[in-house]
Structure 1
């Protein structure tokens, strides 16, 4: 199963303080809008999302259909295929069924330690 681009989405308390910290580690703003309380930071192929007040815990995020530059891939495993694989493997998903038969879609699962994993397809 190919899950697509990977990033970690961090629940931050102060977006500007987190941005300044990660800039000191060599990250720069790649996407997002501070006015909307989120920024995507990039250092090489490593992506970190900073989200202020949007969720309570950190989330592992995979984006089927995107490479690490958020560029669409010509071929990829669709989010609905991934969802089906996980259902067959009896891995509980937070969404029983995805709404649309194609295009964007998302669902979440939890690992055995309670970490949320978001599969979020934008294409």
Structure 2
């Protein structure tokens, strides 16, 4: 199962303080808008997202259709197909992508056995 680019989405109290901290670890801004309380940082192949006031918990995030530099992939497994495959395996969903839309942006959220959220978020 190809889930796309991986990142860790962190819930932060102060996005600017977090940006400065991760800059000390070599992370630079890849995208996002601090004024809108989110920022994507990259260090080599490692990507983290900083989100202030958007999520309750840190979560694993996968982006079908993107590589680790947020560049479009020529081919990828659509989020709806991933959802269908996981449902066939008995995975329970917190939120689901609308399967009646054949393609395009969409996301779903599942929890691992310890309650850790996993977001699969397709942007194209």
TM-score exceeds 0.5:
yes
Aligned to 1:71: 71
Is the Cα–Cα contact under 8 Å of residues 96 and 107 in structure 2 kept in the other structure?
no
Q: Does 1:113 align with 2:114?
A: yes
Q: Which moved more, 1:94-103 or 1:41-50?
A: 94-103
| Deviation of 1:95 (Å) | 3.2
Q: Does 1:48 align with 2:48?
A: yes
| Deviation of 1:55 (Å) | 1.0
Aligned to 1:59: 59
| Deviation of 1:87 (Å) | 0.3
For structure 1, which runs of at least 5 residues remain unmatched after alignment? none
For structure 2, which runs of at least 5 residues remain unmatched after alignment? none
Aligned to 1:29: 29
Distance 1:96 1:17 in 2: 33
Cα offsets for 1:8-44 (capped at 9, x unmatched): 0000001111001000000011100111011101000
Cα offsets for 1:28-78 (capped at 9, x unmatched): 111001110111010001000000111110010000010011111111111
When the two chains are superposed, the root-mean-square deviation of aligned CA atoms in Å is 1.0
Is the Cα–Cα contact under 8 Å of residues 93 and 108 in structure 1 kept in the other structure?
yes
Distance 1:113 1:97 in 2: 23
Is the Cα–Cα contact under 8 Å of residues 10 and 51 in structure 2 kept in the other structure?
yes
For normalisation by structure 1, the TM-score amounts to 0.96
Cα offsets for 1:69-115 (capped at 9, x unmatched): 11111111110110001000000012355252211110000000000
Distance 1:7 1:114 in 2: 18
For normalisation by structure 2, the TM-score amounts to 0.95
Aligned to 2:87: 87
